[in-house]
């Protein structure tokens, strides 16, 4: 769908029969909705659980917006848009702005389109933008809201397990640019996030499994009881049942809160959340949609573990502990065989953690212990310390070749 067609549909979504079906996510089950205050700036509330989205009108009314704008993608709005409009229409006449679906839509042209639409439809400093969808929508919608008038208020309503368990405990808003992931963006905190677990029912198993990779990653980073709980989580028969997914959401938020308290802007210790993302982002970019974010990060974590072991940072026993948890995620697809090691090496050079001329990786000394470097690059107890470990091209190339061979 071309942009001018997007604008036409957005002007009157009810006129399009595709939006009539809705998602029927309402449930008679009266599960309690929980509210946790995020460690991010301002202690933004995160409402989560079955029925959380029903609290959205109350949240918005409390902030007294003059206008409400909903940014979503065509797929999500087709599934859930009718119910969202039914929920909001007694109180507001929201403007709907739609973009395409998928990681490829997190681009400059769509950012320009969103900002243009917001201005043309009369957004003011008193308005609120509701970003409704997965991580792509939340990222680009959050950036658009942060740029308009140097920042208008926005609220996140994630509809995927990945966005609910990972994206909302972050104040990073951004887009992909110049051949790399998340190369343009800002730190900007939403008013709140509303994570309704009933949206999980429309997600395919592959997408749920990919989202669980971030849960495993954070359990490996934190170690201890977080790691043991993750092992228990994957030991049950029906890992992705609805009660299990709600359990995963609570566990994931607890993980992210613990890390975010240390460093809300992810400038120092908080950068550990990027574990596995250096190679993971390269694979996600190169695969052009064939690998989901979590699937690409899964391979990135494995490469980072092998790299830390080859450099003498992570003992074999600790690498085996990491591998044990990752092995519970059965069904992760391999790296597409038309992506070469050379292409990965080139893409890694565009990583947004790049410092100076070298490459920088998050590496672990053990499950629950991130490797830290002194400011001059030496390991030790000096201050200040960084969780970024310099890695030379030869070392990474060797590990990538070994990992590639192991996948064949």
Q: Sorting pLDDT into bands at 50, 70 and 90, what band is 293? A: very high
391 three-state secondary structure: strand
Which pLDDT tens digit goes with each residue over 346-394?
999 877 665 555 688 999 999 999 999 765 555 555 455 789 999 999 9
Which pLDDT tens digit goes with each residue over 120-140?
999 999 999 999 999 999 999
101 three-state secondary structure: coil
The secondary structure of 115-171, three-state, reads: HHHHHHCCCCCCCEEEEEECHHHHHHHHHHHHHHHHCCEEEEEECCHHHHHHHCCCC
Q: Sorting pLDDT into bands at 50, 70 and 90, what band is 23? A: very low
180 three-state secondary structure: strand
User: What mean pLDDT do residues 274-288 have?
Assistant: 94
pLDDT of residue 374: 67
Catalogue all structural domains in the chain, each as residue range(s) with its CATH number.
Answer: 3-201 (3.40.50.1970), 205-407 (1.20.1090.10)
pTM summary value = 0.85
**Up-side HSE of residue 391: CA atoms within 13 Å toward CB?**
35
Contacts of 88-92 with CB under 8 Å at 24 or more apart are: 88/56, 88/57, 88/60, 90/57, 91/57, 91/60, 91/61, 92/57, 92/60, 92/65, 92/67, 92/68
pLDDT of residue 107: 96
């Amino acid at each position: 769908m071309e942009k001018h067609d997007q604008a036409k549909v957005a002007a009157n979504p009810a006129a399009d029969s595709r939006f009539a079906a809705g998602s029927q996510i309402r449930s008679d089950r009266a599960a309690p909705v929980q509210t946790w205050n995020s460690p991010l700036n301002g202690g933004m509330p995160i409402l989560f659980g079955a029925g959380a989205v029903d609290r959205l009108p109350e949240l918005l009314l409390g902030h007294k917006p003059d206008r409400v704008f909903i940014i979503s993608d065509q797929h999500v709005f087709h599934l859930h848009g009718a119910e969202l409009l039914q929920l909001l229409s007694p109180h507001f006449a929201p403007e709907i702005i739609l973009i395409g679906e998928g990681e490829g839509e997190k681009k400059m042209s769509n950012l320009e389109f969103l900002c243009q639409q917001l201005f043309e439809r009369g957004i003011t400093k008193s308005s609120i933008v509701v970003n409704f969808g997965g991580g792509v929508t939340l990222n680009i919608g959050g950036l658009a809201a942060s740029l308009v008038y140097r920042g208008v208020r926005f609220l996140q309503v994630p509809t995927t397990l990945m966005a609910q368990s990972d994206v909302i405990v972050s104040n990073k808003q951004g887009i992909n640019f110049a051949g790399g992931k998340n190369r343009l963006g800002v730190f900007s905190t939403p008013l709140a996030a509303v994570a309704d677990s009933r949206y999980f029912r429309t997600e395919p198993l592959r997408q749920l499994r990919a989202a669980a990779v971030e849960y495993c990653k954070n359990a490996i980073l934190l170690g201890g009881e977080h790691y043991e709980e993750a092992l228990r989580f994957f030991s049950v028969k029906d890992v992705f049942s609805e009660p299990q997914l709600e359990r995963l959401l609570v566990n994931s938020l607890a993980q992210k809160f613990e890390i975010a308290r240390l460093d809300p802007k992810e400038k120092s210790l908080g950068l550990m959340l990027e574990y596995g993302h250096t190679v993971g982002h390269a694979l996600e970019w190169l695969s052009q949609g064939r690998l989901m974010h979590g699937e690409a990060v899964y391979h990135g974590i494995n490469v980072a573990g092998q790299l830390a072991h080859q450099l003498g940072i992570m003992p074999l026993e600790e690498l085996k502990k990491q591998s044990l948890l990752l092995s519970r995620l059965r069904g992760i697809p391999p790296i597409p065989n038309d992506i070469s090691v050379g292409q990965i090496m080139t893409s890694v050079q565009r990583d947004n953690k790049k410092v100076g001329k070298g490459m920088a990786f998050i590496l672990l000394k053990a499950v629950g212990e991130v490797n830290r470097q002194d400011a001059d690059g030496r390991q030790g107890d000096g201050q200040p310390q960084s969780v970024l470990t310099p890695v030379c091209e030869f070392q990474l190339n060797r590990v990538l070749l070994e990992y590639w061979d192991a996948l064949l």
